């Protein structure tokens, strides 16, 4: 069996259970599945995750302390909206991927939003998460691809069209703090264009998250920033697309199956979230919910 989706007979064979037992687990909501036109399908990655969570642990192994019901890490406008609308009872404390991964590794949150490109490979999230979470039984779930680029005042008064224009402009830059995904991605793109990645701007205003970037520009406190299209659209600003990033959610394995995160995932698969993504603009949510990595 190589398909990422299994049928009832296939998952029964995979788990070495009878088909009646599979239907019983589904009816009690004890096994992850999806219904497509009335047919039950079982994502292989979710079944593997479900098995890992239920593995018998050696006696005497210390229990991990309870994490606070908080999603930390990078800010995303669609995720913020989904958390609020889903009623999942999770709070948000979002101040950048780097800070969030550190907080998550120390047990300060149940989940962490990340969108960190690895400058050496161009791969998003995997390398950064693996370095930061050694020994943490975490699962990385895909949230969305996001169109990201330069954010400028409405009407683009500085006439910026390219990264080179931006690098040569004499303006105040709404910058993300070091360690934030946007901070790392912008400098990665500039190096790819052969542009100096630091020390270019007359002055900087630090923005805690992406909405702050747009807010500083709208208020005239900065002349440019780097953020997803959704942030520019929300504030009626000019947007110059440069790249698509990958936004994932890292969550401790045992918390993946708990009601708060499952409520968020359930809502994230609803038509309401798809409509909101279209309204915000610059989102590709076709892979939302896919398990990108299940740490041992």
The pLDDT of residue 170: 85
Tell me how far apart the alpha carbons of residues 248 and 138 are, in angstroms, rounded to a whole number. 12
Name residues of the chain where pLDDT drops below 50: 57, 60-63
The pLDDT of residue 296: 65
Beta pairing partners, 245: 146
The pLDDT of residue 199: 60
What separation in angstroms does the CA of 158 have from each of 186, 205, 221, 232?
19, 18, 15, 16
The pLDDT of residue 60: 47
The pLDDT of residue 61: 43
Would you give the end-to-end CA distance of the chain in angstroms?
A: 22
Tell me how far apart the alpha carbons of residues 214 and 223 are, in angstroms, rounded to a whole number. 10
Tell me how far apart the alpha carbons of residues 213 and 232 are, in angstroms, rounded to a whole number. 9
Tell me: the pLDDT tens digits for 38-67? 788 888 777 877 776 665 545 544 445 678
Q: What is the pTM of this model?
A: 0.80
The pLDDT of residue 202: 66
The pLDDT of residue 270: 93
């Amino acid at each position: 069996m190589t398909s990422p989706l299994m049928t009832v007979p296939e998952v029964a064979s995979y788990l070495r259970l009878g088909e009646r037992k599979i239907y019983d687990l589904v009816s009690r909501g004890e096994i992850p599945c999806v219904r497509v036109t009335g047919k039950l399908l079982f994502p292989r990655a979710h079944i593997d995750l479900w098995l890992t969570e239920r593995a018998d642990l050696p006696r005497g192994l210390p229990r991990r302390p309870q994490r606070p019901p908080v999603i930390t890490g990078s800010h995303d406008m669609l995720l913020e909206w989904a958390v609020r609308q889903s009623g999942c009872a999770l709070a948000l404390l979002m101040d950048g991927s780097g800070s969030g991964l550190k907080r998550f590794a120390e047990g300060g949150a149940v989940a962490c939003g990340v969108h960190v490109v690895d400058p050496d490979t161009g791969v998003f999230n995997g390398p950064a998460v693996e370095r930061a979470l050694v020994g943490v039984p975490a699962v990385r779930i895909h949230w969305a691809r996001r169109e990201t680029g330069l954010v400028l005042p409405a009407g683009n008064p500085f006439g910026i069209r390219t990264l080179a224009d931006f690098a040569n402009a004499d303006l105040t830059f709404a910058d993300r703090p070091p360690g934030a995904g946007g901070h790392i991605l912008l400098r990665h793109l500039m190096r790819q264009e052969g542009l100096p990645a630091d020390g270019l701007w007359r002055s900087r205003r630090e923005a805690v998250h992406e909405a702050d970037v747009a807010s500083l520009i709208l208020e005239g406190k900065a002349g440019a920033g780097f953020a997803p299209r959704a942030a520019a659209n929300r504030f009626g600003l000019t947007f110059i697309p440069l790249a698509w990033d990958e936004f994932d959610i890292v969550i401790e394995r045992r918390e993946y199956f708990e009601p708060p995160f499952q409520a968020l995932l359930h809502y994230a698969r609803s038509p309401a979230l798809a409509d909101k993504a279209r309204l915000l603009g610059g989102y590709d949510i076709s892979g939302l919910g896919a398990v990108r990595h299940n740490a041992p």
